[in-house]
Amino acid sequence: MVGKLAWPPATQPHATGELTMSIRTGKQLALLSSCLAFVIVILDVSVVNVALRSLRVEFAGTIAHLEWVVSGYTLTFAAFLLTAGALGDRFGPRKVFILGFVLFALASLLCGLAGSLTALIACRLLQGLGAALVVPASLAIVNQTFPEKNARSRAIGLWAASGGMALALGPVFGGALISLTGWRAIFFVNVPIALLGSLIAWRCVQDAASTAGRVVDIPGQMLAALALGGFTLALIQVNASGLHSPAVVGGMMVFLLSGAAFVAIEKHMAHPMLPLHLFGNRHFAASSLIGVLVNFAFYGLIFLFSLFFQYAWAYTPLDTGLAFLPMTGSIMAANLLCGKLMVKHGYRTVLTCGIALAALGYLSMLPFVGDGRYADIGIQFIVAGVGIGLAVPAMTNAMVSSTEQRYIGVASGVLNASRQIGGLIGVAAMGLIVGDVTAERFAGGMAPALLWSISALAIGGLVGFLGLRKFEPAVTQTRLAGS
């Protein structure tokens, strides 16, 4: 079945211009639905960070509880991305996309109704599952809708820019909602956005041909979820319970055993969730590692600065959202510019320059995070934001351009999973470095946290410089002609 607006209807238009307009409108609406998906997924990262102090006050939670509110979402998001990509390849991205949107709407409603931190964390896990279904399918929809190489580069830039917009406006919007109505509103606002996106996709996105041979790797999915769950438990409980506590030791044992079993099973599965041979391609492997390192630095520091502003500098949620605006606004602007830069200079150059700018921005914050003022770090936030805004679309192009057409959904899942795992580790690591949400702990913990993030970015830049092609002016059309 063909979407009602995306391709010509049964009755042929009388004028060529009308036909062209119908096709163009359908493509634009398909892109809009994909962008709306990325908006709400990113929104629920940026907005929740602004709400952390409100959650701690209402539920008397510890920093470990706050990490779980952020990382519970990230955990299921990362754990199910690969299966979601394979489901998109198997059944077509449109069906998976709509299912994920509806699930995300339901989970958001339940988050807003949660009566305890335990209930909120459980609903955040469900939200992450919806996000996992939506994101790789949204990129696959962009892929199939824009087969021409330069149009695809621009569309991916807009897709990434929609996430940048959510980052830019989400903290301010969320801070205003929290100040006016309380933290629950930040979840309720997702519901109409998700329902609108699913309706547009149902009407306007083309049904891609399914890959009949692909099957869902249930053992692989279960082991991946166990491995990531054990890893997350160990990382977060180190701060709360100590390195030798049963929770930490048990979590690491689950991670190691499940991880080893996952690799062994994936090597011998006829249709593995994660085809390990893809990592034999250096561009694919490099992009995955860069995704981990960039998100370690970025999301780890977003989590930490959200608490730092509110506890060390006594900012309100709205003040905190406004404090992030220079960084997040520059991310959105750089996302919009990135498509043209990749067409002209190639993704390797854009990626490495972006990572270098992000590292420079964070490095120049070091003298001011103790007794400094916001005016001392505002420009640095802009520089770091421009760097992140250039790096993420370039990283995405590097990944998809190195992958065969039949593995596009899996590639999207791997890239997003690697980024979410990086963010998960970053949040846990920053919580461990600071230890507790007091002004005194922030005074001593911010500088080491920045240094860890700068180191991760430096390694990511080196991996990009050595692991990616010297010049790739546009993504390869034949590899990305469909999903």
With helix as H, strand as E and coil as C, how does the chain read?
CCCCCCCCCCCCCCCHHHHHHHHHHHHHHHHHHHHHHHHHHHHHHHHHHHCHHHHHHHHCCCHHHHHHHHHHHHHHHHHHHHHHHHHHHHHCHHHHHHHHHHHHHHHHHHHHHCCCHHHHHHHHHHHHHHHHHHHHHHHHHHHHHCCCHHHHHHHHHHHHHHHHHHHHHHHHHHHHHHHHHCCCHHHHCHHHHHHHHHHHHHHHCCCCCCCCCCCCCHHHHHHHHHHHHHHHHHHHHHHHHCCCCHHHHHHHHHHHHHHHHHHHHHHHCCCCCCCHHHHHCHHHHHHHHHHHHHHHHHHHHHHHHHHHHHHHCCCCHHHHHHHHHHHHHHHHHHHHHHHHHHHHHCHHHHHHHHHHHHHHHHHCCHHHCCCCCHHHCHHHHHHHHHHHHHHHHHHHHHHHHCCCHHHHHHHHHHHHHHHHHHHHHHHHHHHHHHCCCCHHHHHHHHHHHHHHHHHHHHHHHHHHHHHCCCCCCCCCCHHHCCC
- The pLDDT of residue 483 is 24
pLDDT tens sequence across 23-73: 667 788 888 888 888 888 888 877 888 888 888 888 887 788 888 898 889
Q: Which CATH number is 21-206+273-474 given?
A: 1.20.1250.20
The answer on pLDDT for 6 being more than 50 is no
- The pLDDT of residue 476 is 38
The answer on pLDDT for 171 being more than 70 is yes
- The pLDDT of residue 20 is 55
The winner for highest mean pLDDT among 157-166, 263-272, 296-305 is 296-305
Q: How confident is the model at residue 470 (pLDDT cuts 50, 70, 90)?
A: low
pLDDT tens sequence across 376-405: 888 999 999 999 989 988 888 888 777 777
Q: How confident is the model at residue 4 (pLDDT cuts 50, 70, 90)?
A: very low
The answer on pLDDT for 473 being more than 60 is no
pLDDT tens sequence across 84-135: 777 777 777 888 889 999 999 999 999 999 989 999 999 999 999 999 898 8
pLDDT tens sequence across 412-464: 778 878 888 898 888 888 888 877 666 667 767 788 889 999 999 999 999 98
Q: Which residue has the higher pLDDT, 213 or 268?
A: 268
- The pLDDT of residue 158 is 81
- The pLDDT of residue 2 is 41
The answer on pLDDT for 369 being more than 90 is no
The answer on pLDDT for 199 being more than 50 is yes
Q: How confident is the model at residue 273 (pLDDT cuts 50, 70, 90)?
A: confident
Average pLDDT of the chain is: 81
- The pLDDT of residue 23 is 61
Q: Which pTM value belongs to this model?
A: 0.77
* Extents of the domains making up the chain: 21-206+273-474, 217-272
- The pLDDT of residue 244 is 81
pLDDT tens sequence across 200-217: 888 877 766 555 555 677
Q: Which residue has the higher pLDDT, 456 or 272?
A: 456
